[in-house]
A = this chain, B = another copy of it.
Amino acid sequence: MTLAPFEIPLWADLAAVGIGALQGAMFAGRLKERRLDLLGVALIGILVGLGGGLLRDILLNQLPAAMKTNWYLVVATLAALLGMALLRLFTRLNPLIIALDAVTIGLFAAIGTTKALAYGVPEVPAVFVGVVSAVGGSILRDVSLNLPIALMHVGSLYAVAAGAGTVLITVLVALGANITVAATTCVIVTTLIRLGSVRFG
């Protein structure tokens, strides 16, 4: 299935990158025992923001979006710095980090899947690309921090949330749904599953 020419809107991709970088810097900044310096925290934030998109575009054998314009790296860096500042201003940010994490997963899953479909990738690998986009940033974060990969361990429904969202978007597109509607549904469903999984388990 090849979609009619379809561009991911730049603002949507940048929003996902920014939220990811904000959330990644907050996550890294709270790991006191890792003795990260400020630069390390900023780098982890940038990596979380850009990682999913980089892996997505490498899998699709495309020049990564972040290589095409200055915006991606600028947004990721500013968002990571903002995350570090918020961490110093507020003490109880855990619920915010979890909520932002859930929204990022949904956004990246939707963008990754639709981009893959737009390049003519079949349904199953398109779902795979969506999931990798969604969880790639957090995987690279955990590998960089020498932590066990959260995704692999008991109790995490990360990949399930992203998988459900990407399967949904693929089915909706196959049924002829409007891309924006399908993507929005994917973001909402993924975010809800992820938030539900945190709440109930």
Q: Count copies of this chain in the complex.
A: 3
Asked if residues A125 and B36 are in contact (CB atoms below 8 Å), the reply is no
Residue A94 CB within 8 A of the other chain: no
Interface bits A127-139 vs B (CB < 8 Å: 1, else 0): 0110000000001
Asked if residues B59 and A64 are in contact (CB atoms below 8 Å), the reply is yes
Asked if residues B144 and A149 are in contact (CB atoms below 8 Å), the reply is yes
- A159–B47 CA distance with the chains assembled, in angstroms: 14
Measured CB to CB, the closest approach of chain B to A10, in angstroms, equals 14
Interface bits A41-74 vs B (CB < 8 Å: 1, else 0): 0011000000000100111111110111110111
The 8 closest A-B pairs by CB, nearest first: A40-B152, A70-B124, A61-B63, A37-B154, A67-B125, A73-B124, A70-B122, A146-B148
Chain A interface (Cβ < 8 Å from any Cβ of B): 34-37, 39-40, 43-44, 54, 57-64, 66-70, 72-74, 116, 121-125, 128-129, 139, 143-149, 151-156, 159-160
Q: 28 A-B pairs, CB-CB below 8 angstroms?
A: A34-B153, A37-B154, A39-B159, A39-B160, A40-B151, A40-B152, A40-B153, A43-B159, A44-B152, A59-B64, A60-B63, A61-B61, A66-B125, A67-B116, A67-B121, A68-B121, A68-B122, A68-B125, A69-B122, A69-B125, A70-B122, A70-B123, A143-B143, A143-B144, A144-B149, A144-B152, A146-B146, A146-B149
